[in-house]
Amino acid sequence: GPAIGGYLAYVNYGYVFVAPALISIFDFYLFYRYIQEPQHKSSISGNFSFPSKDKRFLIVCVLLAMIWFVSGQWGTTLTLFWTNFDHLTNRLIGELYGLNGVFVVTMQIPINWLFRKTSDHLRIAVGGLVYSFSFLALAFFTGAAFLVLDVFFITMGENIISPVAYSMIGKLAPPNKRGQYFGAFQMIVGFAVPFAPLMGTYLLGYYSSQAVSFWGIIATIGVIISLAVFSYGRHMDTGPTPPIGS
């Protein structure tokens, strides 16, 4: 997707908006034509109740949301940085984001195997550190070879964290309230995620000529939150997540 978007922007920027609209219309047709409404209706009913009294759950949600804030610089903020600081073309930026997709697909299983015996909180802390230092490196290095390598490590941070974040929430939730806990977690993260590009682009504008200061702030936040996740997680029972297929 990002690779195609970068190529379309390179050809004609208007195509970036036309292509998703046409694809959405085609998706609508496919769903309308081939997807049937399921007949089975669940017999379980009830109102959503936010687990506000579970302090352990709330602390974990806030910490994970802060990790999402750091990882959320991958996107709008990074695109603007590459454009304004490294002066990359839209096509090259699209190709770098396309590499991210390739690395996600090819490296997720090896990463899960590598961390198969690692507790969830340690894994998230390691992923946060990988994110932090990968972003910080952008302030010091440039060039095609480095950018490919840096995208690889940023993607490894994503691969390390993503599979276990929801697993960690699932282990905190009572068996009969997992839906409520997942919903509450998604709501908290949903509030935090939009602030990542908002604050990131604000800081990027403020430190418009100081890449080290900008990425230094992002990396410092990431390191602090990663250490907080590790410190708090040691007091919880968050053993390793079973590998897929086990």
pLDDT band at 246 (very low <50, low <70, confident <90, very high): very low
CB contact at 8 A, 204 and 76 = no
pLDDT exceeds 90 at position 157: yes
Q: Which pair of structure tokens corresponds to residue 217?
A: 């702030």
Determine the pLDDT at residue 239.
Answer: 54
User: pLDDT tens digit string along 40-93?
Assistant: 555 454 566 788 888 889 999 999 989 988 998 988 899 899 988 888 988 888
CB contact at 8 A, 182 and 166 = yes
Up-side HSE of residue 103: CA atoms within 13 Å toward CB?
A: 19
Cα 63 from Cα 120, distance rounded (Å): 13
Share of the chain above pLDDT 70, in %: 86
pLDDT band at 151 (very low <50, low <70, confident <90, very high): very high
- Cα 198 to chain center, whole Å? 15
Cα 144 from Cα 88, distance rounded (Å): 10
Give the C-alpha distances (Å, rounded to integers) separating 38 from 35, 44, 223. 9, 16, 46
Share of the chain above pLDDT 90, in %: 34
Determine the pLDDT at residue 27.
Answer: 84
pLDDT band at 237 (very low <50, low <70, confident <90, very high): low
pLDDT exceeds 50 at position 206: yes
Structural domains in the chain plus CATH codes: 1-32 (no CATH), 54-233 (1.20.1250.20)
- Three-state helix/strand/coil letters over the chain: CHHHHHHHHHHCCCHHHHHHHHHHHHHHHHHHHHCCCCCCCCCCCCCCCCCCCCHHHHHHHHHHHHHHHHHCCCCHHHHHHHHHCCCCCHHHHHHHHHHHHHHHHHHHHHHHHHCCCCCHHHHHHHHHHHHHHHHHHCCCCCCHHHHHHHHHHHHHHHHHHHHHHHHHHHHHCCHHHHHHHHHHHHHHHHHHCCHHHHHHHHHHHHCCCCHHHHHHHHHHHHHHHHHHHHHHHCCCCCCCCCCCCC
pLDDT exceeds 60 at position 124: yes
pLDDT exceeds 70 at position 242: no
CB contact at 8 A, 81 and 200 = no
What's the whole-number mean pLDDT along residues 6-29? 76
Q: Which pair of structure tokens corresponds to residue 129?
A: 């550190």
Determine the pLDDT at residue 45.
Answer: 46
Determine the pLDDT at residue 51.
Answer: 83
Determine the pLDDT at residue 134.
Answer: 96
Residue 205 burial (C-beta neighbours within 10 Å; 0-12, 13-18, 19+): exposed
Determine the pLDDT at residue 178.
Answer: 84
The model carries a pTM of 0.78
pLDDT exceeds 80 at position 17: no
Determine the pLDDT at residue 10.
Answer: 65
What's the whole-number mean pLDDT along residues 104-115? 92
What integer best gives the mean pLDDT of the chain? 84
133-147, 197-211, 231-245, range with the lowest pLDDT: 231-245
Nearest residue to 164 (alpha-carbon basis) of 76, 60, 87: 60
